[in-house]
Structure 1
Amino acid sequence: MSNAILVLFAHPALQRSRVQRALAKAVRDLEGVTFHDLYEAYPDFDVDVAREQALLAAHDVVVLQHPLYWYAAPPLVKQWFDLVLEHGWAYGARGTALVGKRFLCAVSAGGDEAAYCAEGENRFSLRQLLAPVEQTARLCGMEFLDPFVVYGTHALGEDEIEAAAAAYAARLGALRGAER
């Protein structure tokens, strides 16, 4: 049995992104992957909760793909979380719709990996910066997977971007076929 994967893609300025554009292209048409561009679907932030909940319910793995903006996801992601992950549906005593699903963050960061540690310029690891997302996933009963991260995006050459995109596609391919 293969896992259905939902990629929730959030980039408010995709035309300016080399890395996120390449990552998106690498997975957009993969078999078993539903690619859902949140900024394309909701440019006015008016999220269709029923539609989003139906998408989540129909998939086994949820991937949140975005660039790191001021140590967090772009603003539409917060709006999406606040509206879609309702008490009684996603969490709480009767909120079991997401229990057992897996959750992966696929993030790009402009700074290099060494900047994301206690001694680095950003003082926190990327995993620490993702703690609110991890806790949200866990509260909803999902398994939070080790993030897929592309560091140093401002300095990457085309070959490095292509390699990152291939690695991302391979990660989703492995998740698609992974046994529970």
Structure 2
Amino acid sequence: MRILVILAHPDLEKSRANRALLRELQHHANIAVRDLYREYPSWRIDVVKEQQLLLSFDRIVFQFPFYWYSCPPLLKKWFDDVLTYGWAYGPEGNHLKGKEFILATTTGGPENGYRAGGDNWFTISEFLKPIQRTITKCNGRFLPSFVAYSASQGDDAFLSQEAKRYVEHIQSSPTLLVH
């Protein structure tokens, strides 16, 4: 299975967690990484190029820090620009039909902060619903997300373990991810 990780971090140099995840990805030949903030510093997205890349891979992973209860702004722009009517959804918009998608995010807060009555009031799954619906609207197959909680507080050993768990998750068969 060929996997494309679309990385969207506005300041990757300052993110120990996302850099740890990225380092672990580099040990796997079947995983390609596309860093949107490095690729598009001017925010002018090459839509045709991005669409062709999506067609070339079996599974697409969106990796990003959980950013004000959503994804960073360049990833949102990427969704708006690349997932177009007539290509990704709508009449004849079936190019992503059956493609597998996974969201992979890091949070500064602990898992128990993402629940009813917790600091953030909602689960991470509830916060990610708009992106999930975007993917399903485009006829993609949404697989369970990967979340590294408390990432900003983790030491190097913790981040290394999370990175291994991340790669295992995104390479798992759908039958193992969906119970």
Q: TM-score range by the shorter chain?
A: over 0.9
Does residue 19 of structure 2 align to residue 12 of structure 1?
A: no
The percentage of counterpart residues that share the same residue type is 39
TM-score normalised by structure 1 residue count:
0.94
The residue that corresponds to 2:119 in the other structure is 121
Cα-to-partner distance string for 1:60-111 (whole Å, 9 max, x where unaligned): 1010000011011100011100000000000012100000011100100001
Inter-partner Cα distance in structure 1 for 2:169 and 2:107: 18
The residue that corresponds to 1:76 in the other structure is 74
The residue that corresponds to 1:58 in the other structure is 56
The residue that corresponds to 2:25 in the other structure is 27
Partner of 2:85, secondary structure, is: coil
Aligned pair partner of 2:90 in 89, 92, 95: 92
Number of aligned residue pairs: 175
Aligned pair partner of 2:40 in 25, 39, 42: 42
Inter-partner Cα distance in structure 2 for 1:164 and 1:34: 19
Inter-partner Cα distance in structure 2 for 1:172 and 1:118: 27
TM-score normalised by structure 2 residue count:
0.94
Q: Structure 2 counterpart of 1:60, which letter?
A: D
Q: Which segment is superposed worse, 115-124 or 165-174?
A: 165-174
Aligned pair partner of 1:138 in 119, 131, 136: 136
The residue that corresponds to 1:170 in the other structure is 168
CA RMSD in angstroms, aligned pairs only: 1.3
Q: Which segment is superposed worse, 98-107 or 165-174?
A: 165-174
Cα-to-partner distance string for 1:113-161 (whole Å, 9 max, x where unaligned): 0111111010110000000000000001111111000001121111110
Contact 2:102–2:170 (Cα < 8 Å) also in 1: no
Inter-partner Cα distance in structure 1 for 2:81 and 2:21: 27
Q: Structure 1 counterpart of 2:135, which letter?
A: A
Inter-partner Cα distance in structure 2 for 1:148 and 1:72: 14
The residue that corresponds to 2:152 in the other structure is 154
Q: Which segment is superposed worse, 164-173 or 137-146?
A: 164-173
Inter-partner Cα distance in structure 1 for 2:113 and 2:42: 34
